[in-house]
Amino acid sequence: MDITSLGYRTDLKLIELAGSELTDRGEYVVVRTPANPSYWWGNYLLFRTPFAAGQVAARLELFRSEFPAAKHVALGIDNIDGQVGAEEELVAAGFGIERYTAMTATDVIAPARPNEAAQYRFLASDDDWEQLTALNLATADQVVDASYEEFNRRKIEAARGLVESGQAVWFGAFEGERLLASLGLVPDGQGAARFQSVQTHPDARGKGLASTLVYRASTYGLGELGAETLVMVADPDYLAIRIYRALGFTDTETQTQLLIPAPKQA
């Protein structure tokens, strides 16, 4: 499958490894995750071109035809410059437009102030994965309701499945037995390794845990995993991107997502 965007190319590889279904329709790719239908970015259409004027309604109808039961609409555009086309029409139709920075590194720089007090290791036990489930909820940027908890549980199950099948590794930073920060690293089989879900508990931020964890995972990826390129997708407006740049990651592409979220439950 020919995908231009490094961010989406690694996204699709990872989600396929976790059991999602990819269908190439030519004009667009259907990404479907039957095991987690409320996962917005596991159930979306990736279009190969930006929107032309007057095309929003037709592409919305394509999404509805592929996902008739979906309460959300999620669309991607396979380019590297963040161009969406017909932006005013998309906003008028209710879409939020998010642009993320795809970053790459072929070598990394040690953090200036590493956290040496925490313990860094792979997630392995049932308790580790239960703590990851709780950490995801603690760092959620939206209301945590029953639907979100179910989505989160299924997402953790998929991540654990990747680890237990040898297709990914998941790292944690621990204080004693308490998980404070985590991330996943997944090789794509083509020389790249993609970071997943870099997060730190709100109570433990500002202690150098994220930078130390990313650095250690990076050296593992470039060493033991044999990756030639590390890939990180980050919010350009969030402070974490400065951490990644300080470690040697450079801005490479812009990845664009268009979303009409599912209505909040009453």
Same CATH fold assignment for domains 6-100+256-260 and 119-252? yes
Task: Give the confidence band of 108 by pLDDT, cuts at 50, 70, 90.
Answer: very high
**200, 50 contact by CB (below 8 A):** no
Residue that wins the pLDDT comparison between 142 and 12: 12
Distances (CA, A) of 50 to 81, 88, 93, 116, 132: 11, 13, 16, 46, 37
pLDDT at 142: 80
Task: Give the confidence band of 165 by pLDDT, cuts at 50, 70, 90.
Answer: very high
Average pLDDT, the chain: 95
Q: What span, in angstroms and rounded, lies between the C-alpha atoms of 12 and 255?
A: 13
Answer whether residue 261 shows pLDDT above 80: yes
- Domain spans in the chain, listed from the N-terminal domain onward: 6-100+256-260, 119-252
CB neighbour list of residue 245: distance below 8 Å, 6 or more residues apart: 103, 251
Task: Give the confidence band of 266 by pLDDT, cuts at 50, 70, 90.
Answer: very low
Quote the tokens at residue 249. Answer: 């990651």
Quote the tokens at residue 27. Answer: 């004009």
Distances (CA, A) of 6 to 83, 211, 239, 252: 15, 23, 22, 9
pLDDT at 85: 96
pLDDT at 265: 52
Answer whether residue 11 shows pLDDT above 80: yes
Q: Is 47 exposed, middle or buried (0-12, 13-18, 19+ CB in 10 A)?
A: buried
Answer whether residue 64 shows pLDDT above 70: yes
CATH 3.40.630.30 fits 119-252, yes or no: yes
Q: To 10 degrees, the CA torsion angle through 138, 139, 144, 147?
A: -110
Quote the tokens at residue 153. Answer: 């549980």
Give the mean pLDDT of 62-78.
97
Quote the tokens at residue 186. Answer: 């997944």
Q: Where are the alpha helices (DSSP H) in the chain?
A: 6-17, 56-66, 87-92, 126-138, 146-164, 209-222, 240-246
Answer whether residue 132 shows pLDDT above 60: yes
pLDDT at 141: 82
pLDDT at 122: 98
Percent above pLDDT 70 for the chain = 99
CATH number of the structural domain 6-100+256-260: 3.40.630.30
pTM, whole model, 2 decimals? 0.92
Q: Is 118 exposed, middle or buried (0-12, 13-18, 19+ CB in 10 A)?
A: buried
Give the mean pLDDT of 84-104.
97
Task: Give the confidence band of 147 by pLDDT, cuts at 50, 70, 90.
Answer: confident
Write down the residue that tokens 């095309």 correspond to: 55
Residue that wins the pLDDT comparison between 264 and 155: 155
Percent above pLDDT 90 for the chain = 92
